[in-house]
A and B are shown apart, each in its own frame.
Chain A
Amino acid sequence: MTEPNDPSPPIRRRGLLKGTGVAALAAGATASGIAFAQSDDDAAEPAVRLRWLGTNAWEFTTPTATVLIDPWVSRFPTGAYSPEGADPETEIEVHEDVIDEHLPKAETILVTHGHWDHIADVPYLAGRTGATVLGTETHLNLLRAMDAPEDQLSQVVGGERYEFTNGYTVEVFRSSHSASGDHKQIAFGGTRPGKVPERPKKIKDLVEGGSLTFLLDFGGISFFNAGSANFHEPEIAGIRPTAVFVQPGGGHTPRYVERLLEATGFPPYVIATHWDNFDHPLTEPGVIGGDWKALRDRVAAASPDSEFLLIDHLEHHDF
């Protein structure tokens, strides 16, 4: 989840993009050296198609495989972006019709942490698609408690590197969730190892459960994704992804954006993620929840040769 109480990024600022659309943004963006979705698409045969489903939900498709990161599209209201922040007692909802509409298939699902806006739709999706699901013991225990199919669950701790037969590898890294507030706290912290807990009913029941980041490599076109604005620098040192997902926030992490781009070798592409206010619909242009413009400027300053991609709701970009 993002950090309603994090003072550093202007998370509560609402800048409606509706009505302006991508074209208008692109015009303003040219001078800043930003590429928007598909604005420079002269590639003949896309190897990997990347599509945004809001929050940190991303779909990677090739002719033979579909990989999802944090696939959450149910977007039931929680007040996460209100001054009071998300109501911890909000009941978890899974909107199967919305999931069916936006997420037709999956072969592998990567879970970065256990918060509702990352994991809540995974049990239904896993059951419908038969996908392999990677997550920590806690994530998998939460999924079990929500009736995810046991035999599809793959427990990881960070450090693993797996080969998938349909032309990609996944490398897993230990990480931490970003902290918020005066005391560097993780929202709904904690783990649920050992026994499967009671079925989660409220959003506070979906504890963070440890955080992971992933390097997803489709034979040379590779993507590094973290579910929140944090990473462990020595863990990922030396990786050279084609594209890095960066989100607003990380105010408690010194030089989060700059260190991330340096550790990943100043990647050709930087993609904004988890910047939308997810109390607003997925079928409309993303409403700013975390300030991607400030993020864009930081990226431009830290890594001037990287192309900043802002992919709006349900838009895609071919690599």
Chain B
Amino acid sequence: MTSEVTVRWLGTNAWEVTGNGATVLVDPYVSRTYTGATKTGEFNPETKIAIDETAVDEHISVADSILITHAHFDHIADVPYVAEKTGATVLGTESHLNLLLAMDTPETQLAQVGGGELYRFTDENNVELYTVEVFRSSHGVSGKHKSLLFPGTRPGETPKRPKRIKDLVEGGSLAYLVTFGEISLFFNAVPSFHEREIAGIRPTVLFMQGANPHYPDYEERLFAAIGQPPYVIPTHWDDFEEPLTEPAVDLFGGAALGDTVSKYSPDSQFVLLDHLESFTIEA
């Protein structure tokens, strides 16, 4: 199988993974519409959803699969355009796919998952290029009452077209293990991960977010569940109201995760990638 896989950071939790000539995108969002989300007291749930097609075209060219972890604007808003442009298969929950349908995403490309699936992706000769395993997860919470931003699902009928960012409800959360031969990458290691769902997986690369005070012993439990992966890459740590084409502004402690990793997983190599930088993993 493959001998190398390259990951490139597109800001937020947006990642491009290439290997075996195939491209997998996780939460591809590069429009970076200003919402005030990263400024205290300025967040505007009524902000209109806008796709910056120029930015998408600049940074994203091809994709075979698009993996959605949840439906908030900073994860899903660009997917309708990216899916149409690339013809990629889109994996998400019933709610995620319903929201995408309401934003005119091509229906035949949508693959509904619930967590628990393990899928093979192959070339035209049925040679396996990569696999994707899906895990149930939960979105992180905040505040005194462990509140979830824009909670809710949109099962059943396709809802009205989402116009404002608050219309993009979370819709359930998923985590993914993407495997290219010997190299596997685990996306959506968030403090709200489901310990029992992912126990025993042994990814080569862990994409990880910082701690959240609502979750006990996050790092300890995470590394107990998945072992000490060779590589740990922080994700979603940048101020996503700042430009993708400039160095990331570390708003959520991306750099500080290095200390956490050396404490809980001393054998892991901590890889801090800046905006649009790449890293190649060799088997």
Residues of A within 8 A of B (CB): 132-134, 137, 140, 151-157, 159-163, 169, 193-194, 234-235, 237
Q: Is the CB of A152 within 8 A of B216?
A: no
Q: Is the CB of A156 within 8 A of B145?
A: no
With A and B bound together, what is the CA distance between A137 and B147 in angstroms? Answer: 12
With A and B bound together, what is the CA distance between A155 and B138 in angstroms? Answer: 10
Interface members, chain B 147-202 (any A CB < 8 Å) = 147-148, 151-156, 159, 172, 192, 194-197
Which of A133, A162, A169 has the largest count of B CB atoms less than 10 A from its CB? Answer: A162
Q: Is the CB of B146 within 8 A of A137?
A: no
With A and B bound together, what is the CA distance between A235 and B192 in angstroms? Answer: 16
Beyond A153-B145, A154-B146, A193-B156, 6 additional pairs, beta carbon < 8 A: A137-B151, A157-B172, A160-B192, A162-B141, A194-B154, A237-B196
Q: Is the CB of B153 within 8 A of A194?
A: yes
Which chain B residue lies CB-closest to A159? B194
With A and B bound together, what is the CA distance between A163 and B214 in angstroms? Answer: 5
With A and B bound together, what is the CA distance between A111 and B151 in angstroms? Answer: 18
- 16 A-B contacts, Cβ less than 8 Å apart? A132-B145, A137-B153, A140-B151, A154-B146, A157-B172, A159-B136, A159-B137, A159-B194, A159-B196, A160-B192, A161-B215, A161-B216, A161-B221, A169-B216, A193-B156, A194-B156
Interface members, chain B 28-66 (any A CB < 8 Å) = none
With A and B bound together, what is the CA distance between A154 and B170 in angstroms? Answer: 13
Which of B148, B159, B194 has the largest count of A CB atoms less than 10 A from its CB? Answer: B194
Interface 0/1 of B213-235, CB less than 8 Å to A: 11110000100000000000000
Q: Is the CB of A159 within 8 A of B138?
A: yes
A-B contact count (CB 8 A): 63
> Which residue in B146, B152, B153, B154 is a CB contact (below 8 Å) of A132?
B146
Interface size of B by CB at 8 A reads 27
With A and B bound together, what is the CA distance between A155 and B170 in angstroms? Answer: 11
Q: Is the CB of A132 within 8 A of B156?
A: no
With A and B bound together, what is the CA distance between A153 and B194 in angstroms? Answer: 20
Q: Which residues of A contact B221 (CB under 8 A)?
A: 161
Q: Which residues of B contact A160 (CB under 8 A)?
A: 138, 192, 194
Which chain A residue lies CB-closest to B141? A154
With A and B bound together, what is the CA distance between A235 and B197 in angstroms? Answer: 8
Q: Is the CB of A155 within 8 A of B215?
A: no
With A and B bound together, what is the CA distance between A153 and B147 in angstroms? Answer: 7
Q: Is the CB of B145 within 8 A of A193?
A: no
With A and B bound together, what is the CA distance between A156 and B151 in angstroms? Answer: 10
Q: What is the CB-to-nearest-CB distance from A71 to chain B, in angstroms, rounded to a whole number?
A: 17
Q: Which residues of B contact A153 (CB under 8 A)?
A: 145, 147
With A and B bound together, what is the CA distance between A307 and B6 in angstroms? Answer: 57
Q: What is the CB-to-nearest-CB distance from A122 to chain B, in angstroms, rounded to a whole number?
A: 14
Decide yes or no: A151 and B147 within 8 Å by CB, A159-B196, A194-B152 being known contacts: yes
With A and B bound together, what is the CA distance between A134 and B144 in angstroms? Answer: 13
Which chain B residue lies CB-closest to A239? B196
Q: What is the CB-to-nearest-CB distance from A216 to chain B, in angstroms, rounded to a whole number?
A: 13
With A and B bound together, what is the CA distance between A153 and B148 in angstroms? Answer: 9
Interface 0/1 of B64-79, CB less than 8 Å to A: 0000000000000000
Decide yes or no: A161 and B146 within 8 Å by CB, A137-B153, A194-B153, A194-B156 being known contacts: no
Q: Is the CB of B215 within 8 A of A163?
A: yes
Q: Is the CB of A154 within 8 A of B148?
A: yes
Q: Which residues of A contact B151 (CB under 8 A)?
A: 137, 140, 155
> Which residue in B144, B153, B213, B215 is a CB contact (below 8 Å) of A193?
B153
With A and B bound together, what is the CA distance between A157 and B151 in angstroms? Answer: 12
With A and B bound together, what is the CA distance between A249 and B154 in angstroms? Answer: 34
Q: Which residues of A contact B194 (CB under 8 A)?
A: 159-160
Q: Which residues of A contact B214 (CB under 8 A)?
A: 162-163
Q: Is the CB of A151 within 8 A of B145?
A: yes
